[in-house]
Chain A
Amino acid sequence: MNTAIKRLKLTGAVALSSLLAGVAAMPAANATEELNALVWCDHTDPALIEPFEKKFDVKVNLKEYEGTGSALAIVEQSQPGDWDVFVIDGVDVPRAIDADLLAPLPADELPLDDIFPELRLESSLMRDGKLYAVSEKFGYNTVSFNKTKVDAADMKDMTVLWSDAYKGRIAVYDYYLPVIGMVAVGLGKKTSELTADDLPEIKETLFKIKDNAKLVGEVVSSQTAIATGEVDILVGGGEWVTAGLSADKPELDWILPDQGGVRWSQSIGVFKDSKRKELATEFVKYIVSPEGQARLATSSCYWAMPANAKAGAELTDQQKAALRWDDQEAYLKNAQMYPAPDAELDAAMQDLWTEFLQH
C-alpha cells in the first residue's frame, strides 16, 4: 500500500508539474507587454517567472523545447523578432552565434564575477570580445542510484557499470552526447579531444552497459524507473534526476565517480532580432541574480546547481545537501565538459548511439 501511495504521489507530482507549466503559459491579467522565450522546461515554473512578470508588468510566453536541433528548427520556422530570449545548452552557444541568432549582452550589467569560474566559458559564450550568453545553471551527467539497494562505495568506480555486478538493475539516460562523454571519461579520455578513432572503444563499452541495462529512457521514463524501484542505478543521471525528489525519496542519491563525469550547463541569451531587447536583457539579469538563480535551481521541472555562487545564500540546507553544494569545488575540478563534436563526428556519434539502442 505504501509503495502504491508513493507511486501515486509521483504520478500526481508529474501531472501537477504539467498543470503548473500550462498555467505558466496562460496570459497574465492586465500585462501591458509580452516577452517570448524559447526555454528548457525548468523555466516554466510559475515560482520562477511570476516575480519577474509582476515587477515589469509583463507576460512571459514560454515555449519549451527538447534538443538544440528542435530549437533551431523552431527559430528557422519563425519570423525575425518572434523570439526574445533563448535558453540553450552551453556547448551549443557557438552554433547559435555562427547562425547569427544572438545579440551581444551588456557584460558590465551582469554578475559575471559571481559565476563559478568553471562556468564562465569565455571560449563558448564570447566572440570577438563580446558576450553573447551567460551560464545560468549546471549539473552533471553521472550516476544516480538508490543507496538502500546499491553500495555507494561501488558507485565511486565507474567501471562497475560495465562489469556485471548490477546486471539488469541499470537504466541509461537516452541522450548520446553526455553518455558517450561519460563513458569516454571512464575510459580515461578527454571529452574535448575525442576523435572518430576513440569511437570503437567507446562503442564496445557502451554495448557492455546495454547488456547490463534494463532500459534506455528519456527523462520521464528513466526518472520513473529509478523512483519506482524498477532499476537501482541510472547511468547519465545526476542531481537533475534525484535532487528534486530528495524530500519524498531520500534513498535516491547521486555521486561523481573518481574517474569524473560530464558537466552540462545551460546558458541564456537575447535574440539578435528581438524587438524588446531591453526587457529581454532585464529577464536575463533576473535569471542570473541570486534570487532568480535559487528559484531556477529548484524549479519544479528539475533541480540543478545555480551558476551564480551567491545563490547559495538563498537556498535551504536541505536544498544545498540535495545539490551536493559542498562537493562542488572538487566536482567542478574533476568533471569535463560535454563533448563538442564537429558535424562529422557528431553524425558518427549519433550513428553509434543508434547502434547502441538497437544492440
Chain B
Amino acid sequence: MAARGQRFDLGPWGFVAPALLWTAAFFVAPFVVMAVVSLWERIGTDLVASWSFANYLKFFERGHFLEAMLNSLEVTVIVTVTSILLAYPFAWIIAEKVPPRLQRMALVLAILPFWTSYVVRSYSWLLVLANNGIINETLLSIGLIAEPLDLANSRTATVIGFVHFFVMLLTLTIYANLVQLSPNYRKAAADLGAGPLSTFWFVVLPLTLPGIMVGAFLTFVLCIGDYITPQVLGGNNELLMPQVIMLQIGRRADFPTASALAILLMIVVTIAYLGFARWIRLERA
C-alpha cells in the first residue's frame, strides 16, 4: 500500500519526455492525420471529408492494388531470405576468421557502399545490369552467353539492388551477435563430442537467431516501404505498393487513397512485427 502523502516523482518523466515528444510529433500525430485523411475523398481539386471506407474498399475491388501488395510481399521475402543467406557467412568470416585487429577495417569495408547516395547507387546498378553493361559484356566476351541477359529493368534487378543494400545491414547485426558469443559455448560443445558442423548447427546458429531476426525485420520493413529501388531498377514491369501509393499522389494529389494504401501497408508491417517479436528483444540476455 502506497504511503499517504507519497509524491509523484516527475524526474523519470523528464528523462523520457524528449523521446515521448519526438514520437508524438513525428509518429503519432502524422499517423492520426493520415488515418483521418484516409477516410476523406479527393473530388476534383477538393479534399472532401466524406468519412467513409471507400478508399479501403478500392484496395479490395481493384485487382492491381492487391497484385501490388502481393508483389511487394514476394519481393520482400525473396530479398530478406537472400540477404540473410549472403550476410551470415560474410559476418561469420569477419567475426571468426579475420584477426581482431583487422575486424574494424573489414566492417568499414563491408559498409562502404552505405556511404554513397542511395539514388546514385540504384542508377549505377542500372548501368551495370544493362544489355551493354559490365556483366553482360563480360559474359559475352568469355563466351558464356550468346545474347545479353535481360537483367536490368526487371524484378531481378530490383532484388539485386535491394540485396546489395541489405546484406550490409544484416552483416552488422549478425556480426554484433556473433562477437558476443562466449567461446565457452563452443568449448563445451566440443567437450561433449560435437564436431564443428554440429556445434554450428545446434549451438552457434540458435544463439545468433536474435541478430538474424533483428536484421531480417529491419530488412523487411525498409524493403517493403522502399520506393526508389523498384522505381529505378524495376522498369515498371510490375508495381510494388510504394509505387502505387506514389501514383495516387503524382498528378491528382489523391492523398486520401494514398493514405488508405499506406495504412494497409503499415498493417502488413505490424503483422510481420508480431511474427518477428519473439526474437526482437532490446535487453541483453
Contacts and interface: CB of A to CB of B under 8 A. Distances in A.
B131 A230 contact: yes
Contacts of A176: 251
A358 B247 contact: no
Interface residues of B, number: 35
B252 interface: yes
Interface of A: 3, 7, 11, 66-70, 72-73, 95, 98-99, 174, 176-177, 214-218, 220-221, 224-225, 228-230, 343, 346-347, 350-351, 353-355, 357-358
Given A214-B153, A230-B131, A357-B239, A224 B231 contact: no
B76 to A, nearest CB: 17
Contacts of B235: 214-217, 221
The 10 closest A-B pairs by CB, nearest first: A215-B235, A216-B236, A69-B253, A215-B153, A69-B251, A358-B64, A67-B250, A343-B44, A67-B251, A357-B236
18 contacts: A69-B252, A70-B249, A73-B253, A176-B251, A214-B235, A217-B235, A224-B126, A228-B127, A228-B130, A229-B131, A230-B152, A350-B248, A353-B247, A355-B64, A357-B236, A358-B68, A358-B238, A358-B239
Contact of B251 (A68, A214, A225, A355): A68
A217 B150 CA distance: 16
Nearest to B129: A230
A315 B102 CA distance: 60
A146 to B, nearest CB: 13
A354 B64 contact: yes
Contacts of B254: 69, 347
B253 A354 contact: no
A353 B252 CA distance: 13
Contacts of A229: 131-132
Contact of A354 (B150, B239, B249): B239
A166 B243 CA distance: 28
A98 B45 CA distance: 9
Contacts of B248: 350
B67 interface: yes
Nearest to B43: A343
A224 B123 contact: yes
A95 B64 CA distance: 29
Interface of B: 43-45, 62, 64-65, 67-68, 123, 126-127, 130-132, 150, 152-153, 231-232, 235-239, 243-244, 247-255
Task: Tell which of B123, B153, B243 has the most Cβ of chain A within 10 Å.
Answer: B153
A346 B252 CA distance: 8
Contacts of B62: 351
A100 B232 CA distance: 36
A216 B231 CA distance: 10
Given A66-B250, A357-B243, 15 more contacts: A69-B249, A69-B252, A69-B254, A174-B236, A225-B153, A228-B127, A228-B130, A228-B132, A229-B131, A229-B132, A230-B153, A347-B254, A351-B62, A353-B247, A354-B65
A216 B237 contact: yes
A98 B252 CA distance: 15
A229 B253 CA distance: 35
Nearest to B131: A230
A216 B235 CA distance: 5
A230 B132 contact: yes
Contacts of A358: 64, 67-68, 238-239
B15 to A, nearest CB: 34
Nearest to B68: A358
Nearest to A96: B45
B126 A221 contact: yes
B252 A217 contact: no
Nearest to A218: B231
Contacts of B127: 7, 11, 224, 228
B125 to A, nearest CB: 12
Contact of A350 (B43, B126, B152, B251): B251
A216 B68 CA distance: 16
Contact of A230 (B45, B123, B130, B231): B130
Contacts of A353: 247
A73 B254 CA distance: 10
Nearest to B120: A15
Contacts of B243: 357
Contacts of B45: 72, 95, 98-99
Given A3-B132, A358-B239, A70 B253 contact: yes
A350 B42 CA distance: 14
Contacts of A214: 150, 153, 235
Contacts of B126: 221, 224
A154 to B, nearest CB: 21
B252 A347 contact: yes
Contacts of A220: 123
A221 B249 contact: no
A46 to B, nearest CB: 22
B247 A350 contact: yes
Nearest to B150: A214
A339 to B, nearest CB: 12
Contacts of A216: 235-237
Contacts of B250: 66-67, 69-70
Contacts of B249: 69-70, 73
Contacts of A230: 130-132, 152-153
Contacts of B247: 350, 353-354, 357
A95 B253 CA distance: 13
A116 B249 CA distance: 33
A357 B239 CA distance: 7
B31 to A, nearest CB: 18
A67 B253 CA distance: 9
Contacts of A99: 45
Contacts of B238: 357-358
A177 B251 CA distance: 10
